[in-house]
């Protein structure tokens, strides 16, 4: 059941959108928690969405596992959980509009060729008018839809580190690209605040270009540092699952708040998830989140 709190701020809505490619780990849980607090601190609503479009990456049972883990931590979606696979028709429809407006084109360049260009596309297929099936489709970037900077609510002004060039919205295997699908998902679900890991900052430029091309009002973006494991690598859903969490005496939410620079008081260390979340909602301070692209897992949390 999803009861809407009458005091809910309708103008504020956030989301956590994991790819069900494995179980949650300390990094993804921290991201879920931060995205939740960022809107709940101001009485906004928060939803979970499952990014299951990239089917080769989807792992059986991962969606259920992620939802159950979030539930264990009292991170509950305010709306029924949607999956990207529920939106396929809509992706097709909007794709049709882009074709109709001549805003995209087929590209047959091989991965090898793109690598030789350092992934900065040189527009080779833009005017070829290819018609065969096995191609990817790229969005045309022009002066009217280009975006080269944006203000990140945590990291500050961001400028493209590389040259923007026409990018893929539908892959050769006919699966819509993440950047394309996520823009439509956020738009149709009226998301106003996107908080996620800083590894997606560079993708945000393309997402903003798509919002502009489709005349959508983009959400406010916030990127938190990516949690690195002891070896300085990004944690992975398959290797660093939270399975061990019941063995630790310290609350994982406490450790996540501590990692996020929120200074949770020591008395909260062994408190219930709900008490910790209530404290965090009242004391949420996005300015205290470190302005870093990545940050190692704290020693206290290493047992995870």
Q: Scanning residues 185 to 204, which ones bind ligand GLU (CB under 6 A)? A: 196, 200
Nearer to ligand GLU, 124 or 171 (CB): 171
The nearer residue to ligand GLU, 218 or 264, going by C-beta atoms, is 218
Toward ligand GLU, which CB reaches closer, 17 or 210?
Answer: 17
Determine if 51 is a binding residue for ligand GLU (CB under 6 A).
yes
Identify the CA nearest to 87 among candidates 16, 176, 167. 176
Q: Are the C-beta atoms of residues 35 and 46 closer than 8 Å to each other?
A: yes
**Sole window of 16-24, 138-146, 150-158, 282-290 interacting with ligand GLU (rule: CB under 6 A):** 16-24
Strand partners, 216: none
Smallest distance from ligand GLU to CB 182, Å? 5
Pairing of strands 136-139, 104-107: antiparallel
- DSSP classification of residue 102: T
Query: Across the beta sheet with 104-107, what order do the strands follow?
Result: 104-107, 136-139, 167-170
Residue 182 in the binding site for ligand GLU (CB under 6 A): yes
* Residue among 118, 120, 137 at smallest CA distance from 129: 137
Q: How far is the CB of 123 from ligand GLU (least distance, A)?
A: 27
- Minimum distance from residue 124 beta carbon to ligand GLU (Å): 29
20 is an interface residue for ligand GLU by CB under 6 A: no
How many residues bind ligand GLU, per CB under 6 A? 7
Report, in Å, the least distance between residue 278 CB and ligand GLU: 25
Is the Cβ of residue 166 or residue 179 nearer to ligand GLU in the bound state? 179
Residue span binding ligand GLU (CB under 6 A) among the ranges 15-23, 63-71, 92-100, 139-147:
15-23
Site string for ligand GLU, 213-242 (x = CB under 6 A): ------------------------------
Conformation bin of residue 42: beta by default, left when phi > 0, alpha when psi is -120 to 50: alpha
- Residue 27 CB, nearest approach to ligand GLU (Å): 10
* Footprint on this chain of ligand GLU (rule: CB under 6 A): 17-19, 51, 182, 196, 200
């Amino acid at each position: 059941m999803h009861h809407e709190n009458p005091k809910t701020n309708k103008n504020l809505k956030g989301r956590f959108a994991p790819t069900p490619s494995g179980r949650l780990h300390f990094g993804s849980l921290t991201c879920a928690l931060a995205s939740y607090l960022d809107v709940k601190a101001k009485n906004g609503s928060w939803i979970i969405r499952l990014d299951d479009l990239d089917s080769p990456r989807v792992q059986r049972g991962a969606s259920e596992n992620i939802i159950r883990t979030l539930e264990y931590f009292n991170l509950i979606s305010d709306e029924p959980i949607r999956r990207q696979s529920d939106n396929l028709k809509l992706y097709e429809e909007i794709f049709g509009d882009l074709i109709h407006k001549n805003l995209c084109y087929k590209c047959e360049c091989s991965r090898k060729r793109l690598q030789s260009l350092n992934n900065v596309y040189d527009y080779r297929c833009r005017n070829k008018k290819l018609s065969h099936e096995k191609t990817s489709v790229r969005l045309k970037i022009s002066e009217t839809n280009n975006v080269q900077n944006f203000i990140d609510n945590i990291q500050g002004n961001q400028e493209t580190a590389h040259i923007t060039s026409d990018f893929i919205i539908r892959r050769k295997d006919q699966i819509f690209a993440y950047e394309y699908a996520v823009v439509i998902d956020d738009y149709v679900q009226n998301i106003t605040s996107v908080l996620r890991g800083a590894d997606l900052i560079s993708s945000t430029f393309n997402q903003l270009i798509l919002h502009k091309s489709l005349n959508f009002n983009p959400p406010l973006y916030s990127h938190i540092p990516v949690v690195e494991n002891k070896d300085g690598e990004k944690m992975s859903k398959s290797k660093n699952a939270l399975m061990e969490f019941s063995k630790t005496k310290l609350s994982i939410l406490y450790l996540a708040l501590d990692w996020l620079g929120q200074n949770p008081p020591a008395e909260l260390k062994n408190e219930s998830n709900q008490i910790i979340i209530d404290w965090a909602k009242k004391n949420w301070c996005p300015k205290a989140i470190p302005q870093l692209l990545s940050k190692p897992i704290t020693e206290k949390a290493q047992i995870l």
